[in-house]
Amino acid sequence: MSVQLKMRICFVVVVIFVLLLGALRQTAAANGKMTGDYSKLSGIIIPGFASTQLRAWSFLDCPYSPLDFNPLDLVWLDTTKSIILQLLSAVNCWLKCVLLDPYNQTDHPECKSRPDSGLSAITELDPGYITGPLSSVWKDWIKWCIEFGIEANAIIAVPYDWRLSPSKLEERDLYFHKLKLTFETALKLRGGPSVVFAHSLGNNVFRYFLEWLKLEIAPKHYIQWLDEHIHAYFAVGSPFLGATETVKAALSGATFGLPVSEGTARLMFNSFGSSLWMMPFSKYCTADSIYWKHFSGGIKKDHPTYHCDEQEFRLNYSGWPTNIVNIEIPIRGYDAYPSVTDVTLTNLSSMEYGFPTLLSFSAREVSDGTFFKSIEDYDPESKRLLHQLKKLYHNDPILNPLTPWDRPPIKNVFCIYGVDMKTEVGHYFAPSGKPYPDNWIITDIIYEMEGSLISRSGNLVDGNPGTSSGDETVPYHSLSWCKNWLGPKVNITRTPQTEHDGSDVQVELSVENLHGADIVPNMTRSPKVKYITYYEDSESIPEKRTAVWEIDKANHRNIVRSPVLMRELWLQMWHDIHPDATSKFVTKAKRGPLRDEDCYWDYGKARCAWSEYCEYSYAFGDVHLGQSCRLKMSSGDMLLRYV
């Protein structure tokens, strides 16, 4: 056979192969299957506080109880066992497996617990009928992944021991080394970068990981590593500046819905090094970067230097709506405060001897330890918290987490949170007359509610309320910090949360965004409609996108189960990986049903609603008309409308 003939045959084979490949791609799109680089992406989930199962890693005999703890038994959260232990007055047995030593963060001598692994560790904390919504976390999200055809090895959970401070996570479990290997393994396995989904405290964990990574990778390769391994970061319900409820848990206890007393819950919470990780702090106080000092030839210190801007002392409340803590202390004389800071001594200068006095503390005074120093003569817990605060946070060699965030150097950052929920922003405490740990009682609570501050009794309170309120757990001031990551010009879109045809969509283009000030869109609101407001910027930082999604009435814990959020996440990811996408962000022009569950029966018209998308299709087992309304085409075909 001649050389020319061989070349002709090879050319024909190549042409046929290219044509077949194009046909296969068209067929795949016609069949509603994902195209582009979708098959290469991985999703890495970092859960929030108390959202990972803990299992016993030792034997513990519980006296006067038929329930003992054996290796791999659920410790957090086995509600059935904890209820029985409580009824049998053997809750101290369970606590041995949960509590940590407050000074060195080691396990109890008689019981050891460790975080579970895999997706099962974060989907449901306590599978069963008793706990219900209390324990269901990422299960619905995994269902969506399965429904849209995501491969099993494409979704990776990275659970952690949420009781530990960041430095202890690395010291005891090498957590951040393992997380780095997880990203690198996902890249080798799937061939593409990962999408990070972090909820609540999981965002703090991810922030610390990014700072830790700077010291693990050569400076010139740091951004390259991020670009290769992380496509997008979805920060959901992140307490960027902390949460006020953390202080309440430290002084009076938060039960997490468990059948334990608030005093017991307080003991448990304050034994965790992570309890201070979510303390509120000032946006005006920062710490020097160890990373840049190390590589710029500066003097290397053991921990970042903490300093505050002059605005911290010129403005009230550290930029928060009100003081974080107002506490009544029975004064016995000035010598009762041997180690109080100058700020506290100034407050004490006008006190009358022997009378209870109300002290108020801002977010800075909580995070820098002033508050805990002020009550250490009346509360034994304060000394332990001060030790943790200094050792685990102020002196952390990687990062002082109680400082404001900068935008992560990731190509695509999406900040998502709920708004317009009644959220606690300040508390009043007084001595209860009971012994420790029940020695403090909450006498009043200050809430933010849709632009105003109200007390527990319903009275208006003076302060600096934001334009909106938080997500019932984290105040709006903390959630919305990521708006500072947007550039000087922002496109704003407001749409109804439900499926819509586009007639109610409101758009403002190139809205001016002043750094440090909230962006308030000039848009109408119907009291009967829940909205999503999108703030999008793809111009300020070359080749990077930043977006903020504010979801009306989305609860902090339940937001990861919100069908509205999952729908928007899917559309954005689908848009990002599709080869035919031209816009920077997914279109907001309309929202139709994506799944059979989104179709329903319209009794007024006696047909399935959204007839363009849904049709009546009875299947055996349907018990009502709505169940028989199903999509006319596959979910993949529906997604093609949003390219």
Q: Which two tokens stand for residue 190?
A: 């799937």
Query: Is residue 200 flagged as an active site residue?
Result: yes
Are 278 and 242 a contacting pair, CB within 8 Å? yes
From 161, 471, 576, 598, active-site residue = 471
From 200, 238, 271, 367, active-site residue = 200
Read out DSSP for 194-256? EEEEEETHHHHHHHHHHHHHHTTS-HHHHHHHHHHHEEEEEEES--TT--THHHHHHHT---T
Q: Which two tokens stand for residue 383?
A: 């000394």
Read out DSSP for 288-315? --HHHHHHTTPPP-SSPPEEE-HHHHHS
From 302, 350, 457, 515, active-site residue = 515
Dist CA 439 CA 436 (whole Å) = 5
Query: Is residue 471 flagged as an active site residue?
Result: yes
What's the angle, vertex CA 100, arms to CA 99 and CA 105, rounded to 5?
A: 170
Query: Is residue 477 flagged as an active site residue?
Result: no
Query: What is the β-pairing status of strands 356-361 and 325-330?
Result: antiparallel
Q: Which two tokens stand for residue 251?
A: 């002084």
Are 454 and 425 a contacting pair, CB within 8 Å? no
CA distances, 164 to each of 7, 161, 172, 513 (Å) = 66, 6, 9, 38
Question: What residues contact residue 462 under an 8 Å CB cut-off, 6+ apart?
Answer: 453
Query: Running DSSP on this structure, what letter comes out for residue 591?
Result: B
Please report the sign of the dihedral spanned by the C-alpha atoms of residue 493, residue 496, residue 502, residue 504.
negative
Dist CA 520 CA 629 (whole Å) = 40
Are 500 and 593 a contacting pair, CB within 8 Å? no
Question: What residues contact residue 124 under an 8 Å CB cut-off, 6+ apart?
Answer: 135, 136, 137, 139
Active site residues: 200, 471, 515
